[in-house]
Structures are given as C-alpha cells and as structure tokens.
C-alpha cells in the first residue's frame, strides 16, 4: 500500500547540494592573499628579497579572481538560458553601486590626506576647481583608479558586459573548446610579452608604431592593465573549466598528486630564477636601477611568472576540493568560511582605507623586524577591516557599500551594538590621544558608524508596540538560515547569481 493510500505524506528527496564550497575556500584564501600582498608592497623595501618573493607568489590573486568570476558565472548558466538585460541589470546594481560609493569615498579621502578639510572644501572654490574635480572623478570612475584595488571592479564589470556573448560562443562551439583555449593562451602570451616592453612597432613585418602615437590606441595601450584584455585567458579558462565541470573536477581529482608535484616544481623553479634576478637587483647601483629591476622580476605581467600563478591556483583548487570532501557542516571552520563568504566583498572594498591608517603607525615601529612588522600589520588590518565590514552589514548603507542588504533589523540587538560602539569610541579616542595613532581615529569612526546604525535599528524597533516587536523578532528568529543548496555565489559580490530562468539540461558528453 502506498504512502498516499495510507495517508502518510511522501518524503520529498533532499535537494542535491550544488554549492561550490571549494570556491569558498579558494576565494577566502585569495582575499587574505590580496591584503597580505598589499601589506608587503607598502612595508617592504626592494632589498627585502624574501618578502619580495612572498609578494611574487601572492600576485596570483589578480588572475585567480578573474578565473573565479568566469568559472562561477559559467557554472550557473551552462545548462540554462541567460537573459542578458536582466543579468546586466542585477550585476551592475550589486557591483556598480559599491564601486561608485567607494570610488567617491577614496577620491575624497585622497583630497583630505593631501590637505585636510580645507582641501576638500577647496574643490568648490571656483568654477575651474569644480570642473577640474569633475574631470578627476570622471577619470577615476572610468579607470577604477580612485584607489589601487578598485580597478578589479572595473574589469569585473567589463567581464559582465561580454559574458553573455562568451557564453553564447561556448555553447555553440562544442568540440572546439580546446582550440579556443589555445588561441586565448596565445593572445595572453603576446600581451604579457609586449606589456613589459613598449607598444608594438611592427606586426608581421608591417610597421605599426604610428598607430600608437598620439592616438586612442596609444591611450588604450598605456592603460591595458585596467582592461579585460590582459586577463582574458584566465577568465576564459575559468569559463571552460566550469562548462566541463564534471570532467575538469574529475581530472583534477584523479591526477591531483601529479598536479601537486608539477605545481610545486614550477613554483620552486620560478622562485629560484627570481632569487637570481633579485640578488642582481640588490647589487645594482644606483638604487633606483635596482628597484626597477626588482619591479620587473616581480611584475605580474612577466610571462615566466604565469606558470607560478597557474600552479598556485591549481594547488588552491585541489585544497578546495579536499575541503569540500571533508567539511563538517556547523563546525567552526565551516562557520568561518560561511561568514567570510558573506563579508568578503566588503572586506576587499574597505581594506585599503584600514591598511593606510594601520601602516601610517606600523611604519614607525622600527624596533620590530620587518617580518614581524608585516605579520602584525596584516593581522591588525584584517581584524579592523572585519570590524568595519560587520558594521557596514548592519548599517542602512549596507547595499551601496557591500552589495548586500543589511542584516535583518528584527534580529539585531541595538543595545549590544551600542555597547560595542561606545567601547570602540572610547578605545579609539584613547589610542588617538595617548598613542598619537590614526588607528585610534579609525576605530572611533567605526564606532560612530555602528552607534548610528544601532540608533536607526532601535528607532525602527521602538516604532512598534511591544507585542508587535516581540512577534517580529520571534518570526525573524524562526526563519531558517539561508540555505546554500542550489545557491551559487558570485566571487565578486558573494550574491547568489540570477536564478530566474528554468534549467534547460543539455544532453552533451565531454
């Protein structure tokens, strides 16, 4: 007798968990790598060969993020239709608003750092200063150069523009993907070879130098690093890997020991070559020449370094697959990764302002060795950036600063937030007054933001009757945590990618 006949409801089969936990692992390690790389760039002199070598390894982060973007977007849409206007509308809202807000913030901060409040208000002194300011901010918005890390968002938006077309090509060139990938690799190699030199003077024996002299092509060439062009292979490789997800992950799992061995060998070989170049750079005179040589040795566009970057990415993906297989839901590590995924975009956007304030103090700690100072600066930067990201996620400006709606106001406890905020203001003020450090000003400023957010939430909660407030809170607490089943997150914004069209499974074999 069936369950229906006996009146017993049929048990629905559990949904298959399609969340890419291995991507969470890769993404969070890479975000941490970005911050550490920026710490090293800001703290280490070119003569610190070990620090420069670590920084070289961490340059993989630039390419890894672009590969992740292509991978996750393609994974989501490989078996479903993509409506380009809807895709663009949602993507640009979730990344465009934070890009605009943070660009304006860093632009104003730059003016403040160079001349204080008077320099900021000086923007509006005359028509000429206003016009100059408008040109300046327009340039920063177009190029993503309001701060050194915002170019990534600019390139990401370029990826969103072309992704529907790329996906269309991938779906209609089944059987030819290896050739397209080889072509993309050849184009990548040409760009990397040429970018560390000068613009091309000839092509296939034909003089082309005039095309790059005082022309729009020359402008484009001088700004290639903020365009999609020198990263296209990594984006496309991510797309192809995701489109052949089962075959790709099966290959990585089957041959993981060989891949690990080759990757480690490539990393060691690249670092050995780097060490030789670095020692030459340190010995060069004048120092400016040595600094220039070290810059070339660690340049992210040097072609021989790409094998190191690919190796690190492969090792991280294998590590991510290991995490996916062994993770225990609800464990501390699992909770940290889930929380980190939710906050990672905000951490990326905000870490530059935190790092600048921390380094303004840590550079004075000359009694510490360089290695210890780098570690301390990194830990302080991560801790304060997480504090800022948590505060932003609870604030009314969460959407425009983090790309996510604020934490449910019904679940927030404004009294606790206010206590933390007041504590931050007191501690920050004390550090500023007694230690003369801008870290104190930063902590106090975050405290003020948290106190304002707590006041807004408290006002909202107090606008209800006690019974309504209790019912709202009970309802909010009763809601289950957002499930990651069938939810694929974009590595840039950590927002679930559009899931509006029904899946259309394609019957293809690798």
Looking at residue 455, what is its pLDDT?
95
Within 196-331, residue ranges assigned H as helices are 216-222, 232-243, 245-254, 256-283, 287-297, 306-326
Domain count, the chain: 2
In this prediction, residue 217 carries a pLDDT of: 86
Same domain, 349 and 465: yes
* pLDDT at site 510: 38
CB proximity list for 23: less than 8 A, separation 6 or greater = 68, 71, 72, 320, 489, 491
Residue with tokens 């020359």: 218
Q: What is the pLDDT of residue 431?
A: 96
Q: Which residue has the higher pLDDT, 449 or 333?
A: 449
Q: Is the pLDDT of residue 362 over 90?
A: yes
**Is the domain of 255 the same as that of 316?**
yes
Q: Report yes or no on 451 lying in a domain.
A: yes
CA dist 228 and 225 (Å) reads 8
- 273 pLDDT band, cuts 50/70/90, is very high
The answer to whether residue 89 is domain-embedded is no
Query: Does residue 359 register a pLDDT over 60?
Result: yes
Mean pLDDT, residues 134-143: 93
Residue 505 confidence (pLDDT) above 50: no
State which of 301, 327, 353 marks the end of a domain. 327
Identify whether 211 is part of a domain: yes
Query: Does the pLDDT value for residue 483 go beyond 50?
Result: no
Residue 145 lies in a domain: no
- The proportion of the chain whose per-residue pLDDT surpasses 90, expressed as a percent, equals 65
The C-alpha atoms of residue 228 and residue 234 are separated, in whole angstroms, by 10
- pLDDT given at position 15: 56
Residues 181 and 321 in one domain: yes
Question: Which pLDDT score, from 0 to 100, does residue 489 have?
Answer: 53
Instruction: Report CA-CA distances (Å) from 270 to 171, 197, 265.
Output: 36, 20, 9
Contacts within 8 Å (CB) and 24+ apart, 381-385: 381/35, 381/39, 381/351, 381/354, 381/355, 382/32, 382/35, 382/347, 382/351, 384/354, 384/358, 384/439, 384/442, 384/443, 384/446, 385/35, 385/347, 385/350, 385/351, 385/354, 385/355
Mean pLDDT of 447-467: 89
Summarize the confidence of residues 279-283 as an average pLDDT.
91
User: How far apart (Å, rounded) are the C-alpha atoms in residues 333 and 324?
Assistant: 12
Domain identity same for 192 and 301 = yes
pLDDT digits over 178-191, tens only?
999 999 999 999 99
State the pLDDT at residue 415: 93
Lowest mean pLDDT among 281-290, 446-455, 460-469: 460-469
Give pLDDT, residue 4. Answer: 47
Do 290 and 365 reside in the same domain of the chain? no
Distance between CA atoms of 65 and 87, rounded to whole angstroms?
20
Coil, helix or strand at residue 93: helix
DSSP state of 491: T
The helix (run of H) or strand (run of E) holding residue 353 is helix 332-362
The answer as to whether 433 is a domain residue is yes
Please, what's the largest Cα pairwise distance for the chain? 90
Least reliable range by pLDDT among 88-97, 362-371, 421-430:
88-97
Q: Is residue 146 part of a domain?
A: no
Give the domain range for residue 303: 16-80+173-327
pLDDT at residue 149 greater than cutoff 70: yes
Residue 475's pLDDT is: 65
Please indicate, yes or no, whether residues 374 and 387 belong to a single structural domain of this protein.
Answer: yes
Boundary of a domain, candidates 327, 351, 373: 327
Residues 6 or more apart in contact with residue 33 via CB below 8 angstroms: 58, 60, 61
CA angle 33, 55, 363 (to 5 degrees): 90
Pair (408, 280) in one structural domain: no
The predicted pLDDT at position 94 comes to 86
Residues 344 and 309 both lie in one domain: no
Q: Which two tokens stand for residue 85?
A: 């206007």
pLDDT of residue 501: 44
Note whether 257 and 392 are same-domain residues.
Answer: no
What mean pLDDT comes out for the span 240-269?
97
Q: How does DSSP classify residue 16?
A: P
Res 255 pLDDT > 70: yes
Q: Angle at CA 322, nearest 5°, toward 15 and 35?
A: 105
Same structural domain for residues 287 and 334?
Answer: no
Dihedral (CA of 437, 442, 445, 446) sign: negative
Asked whether the predicted pLDDT for residue 479 surpasses 80, the reply is no
Residue 96 has pLDDT above 50, yes or no: yes
Which has more pLDDT, 211 or 301? 301
Last residue of a domain, one of 327, 344, 361: 327
CA atoms within 13 A on the CB side of 85: 0
Task: Convert the pLDDT of each residue in 396-409 to its tens digit.
Answer: 999 999 988 888 88
Q: Residue 442 burial (CB < 10 Å; 0-12/13-18/19+)?
A: buried
Q: Of the ranges 94-108, 116-130, 348-362, which one carries the lowest mean pLDDT score?
A: 116-130
pLDDT value, residue 383: 97
Confidence of residue 502 (pLDDT cuts 50, 70, 90): very low
342 and 450 share one domain: yes
Task: Name the residue with higher pLDDT: 288 or 64.
Answer: 64
Question: Which of 500, 492, 499 lies closest to 95, judged by CA?
Answer: 492
**Bond preceding residue 28 cis, omega within 30 of 0:** no
In this structure, what are the phi and psi dihedrals at residue 307, rounded to the nearest 5 degrees? -70, -35
Mean pLDDT confidence for 378-388: 97
150, 222 contact by CB (below 8 A): no
Q: What are phi and psi of 496, to 5 degrees?
A: -55, 130
Q: Is the pLDDT of residue 297 over 60?
A: yes
**Helix or strand holding residue 28 (H, E):** helix 21-43
- Arithmetic mean of pLDDT over the chain: 88
pLDDT category at 492 given cuts 50, 70, 90 is low
Q: What is the pTM of this model?
A: 0.89
Per-residue pLDDT, 507 = 41
- Helix then strand count (H, E) for the chain reads 20, 2
Residues 284 and 411 in one domain: no
pLDDT of residue 343: 85
pLDDT 10s digits, 189-225: 999 998 888 777 777 778 877 788 778 888 888 899 9
pLDDT of residue 472 exceeding 70, the answer is no
pLDDT the model gives residue 206:
80
Are 232 and 187 contacting, i.e. CB atoms less than 8 angstroms apart?
yes
pLDDT at 80 over 50: yes
15-33 pLDDT per residue, tens: 566 778 899 899 999 999 9
**Other residues' Cβ atoms within 10 Å of the Cβ of residue 100:** 14
**Most confident of the ranges 159-173, 197-211, 334-348, 485-499:** 159-173
Is 501 among the domain residues? Answer: no
**447, 430 contact by CB (below 8 A):** no
Residue 464 has a pLDDT of: 74
Residue 493 covered by a domain: no
Show contacts of 10-15: CB within 8 Å, 24+ apart: 15/485, 15/486
């Amino acid at each position: 007798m069936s369950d229906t006949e006996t009146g017993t409801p049929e048990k629905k089969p559990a949904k298959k968990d399609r969340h890419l936990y291995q991507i969470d692992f890769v993404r969070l390690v890479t975000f941490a790598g970005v911050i550490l790389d920026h710490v090293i760039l800001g703290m280490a002199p070119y003569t610190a060969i070990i620090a420069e070598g670590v920084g070289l390894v961490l340059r993989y982060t630039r390419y890894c993020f672009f590969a992740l973007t292509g991978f996750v977007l393609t994974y989501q849409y490989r078996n479903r239709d993509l409506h380009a206007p809807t895709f663009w509308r949602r993507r640009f809202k979730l990344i465009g608003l934070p890009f605009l807000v943070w660009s304006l913030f860093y632009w104003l901060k730059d003016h403040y750092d160079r001349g204080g409040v008077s320099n900021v208000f000086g923007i509006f002194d005359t028509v000429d200063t206003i016009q100059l300011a408008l040109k300046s901010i327009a340039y920063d918005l177009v190029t993503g150069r309001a701060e050194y890390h915002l170019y990534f968002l600019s390139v990401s938006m370029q990826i969103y523009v072309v992704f529907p077309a790329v996906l269309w090509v991938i779906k209609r060139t089944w059987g030819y993907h290896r050739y397209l990938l080889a072509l993309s690799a050849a184009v990548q190699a040409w760009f990397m070879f040429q970018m560390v030199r000068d613009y091309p003077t000839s092509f296939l024996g034909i003089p082309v130098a005039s095309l790059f002299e005082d022309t729009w092509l020359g402008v484009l060439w001088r700004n290639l690093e903020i365009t999609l062009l020198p990263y296209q292979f990594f984006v496309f490789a991510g797309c192809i890997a995701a489109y052949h997800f089962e075959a790709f992950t099966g290959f990585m799992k089957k041959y993981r020991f060989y891949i690990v061995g080759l990757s480690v060998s490539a990393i060691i070989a690249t670092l050995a070559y780097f060490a030789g170049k670095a020692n030459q750079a340190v010995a060069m005179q004048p120092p400016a020449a040595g600094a220039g040589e070290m810059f070339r040795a660690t340049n992210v566009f040097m072609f021989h370094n790409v094998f190191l970057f690919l190796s690190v990415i492969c090792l991280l993906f294998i590590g991510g697959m290991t995490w996916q297989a062994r993770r225990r839901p609800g464990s501390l590590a699992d909770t940290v990764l889930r929380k980190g995924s939710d906050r990672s975009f905000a951490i990326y956007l905000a870490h530059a302002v935190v790092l600048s304030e921390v380094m303004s103090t840590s550079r004075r700690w000359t009694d510490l060795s360089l290695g210890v100072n780098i570690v301390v600066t990194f830990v302080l930067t991560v801790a304060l950036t997480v504090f800022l990201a948590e505060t932003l996620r609870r604030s009314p400006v969460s959407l425009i600063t983090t790309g996510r709606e604020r934490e449910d106001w019904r679940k927030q406890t404004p009294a606790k937030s206010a206590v933390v905020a007041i504590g931050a203001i007191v501690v920050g003020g004390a550090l500023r007054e007694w230690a003369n450090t801008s870290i104190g000003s930063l902590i106090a400023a975050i405290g003020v933001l948290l106190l304002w957010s707590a006041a807004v939430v408290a006002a909202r909660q107090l606008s209800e009757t006690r019974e309504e407030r209790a019912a709202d809170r009970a309802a909010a607490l009763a809601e289950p945590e957002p499930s990651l089943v069938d939810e694929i997150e974009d590595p840039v914004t950590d927002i679930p990618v559009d899931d509006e069209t029904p899946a259309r499974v394609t019957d293809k074999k690798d």
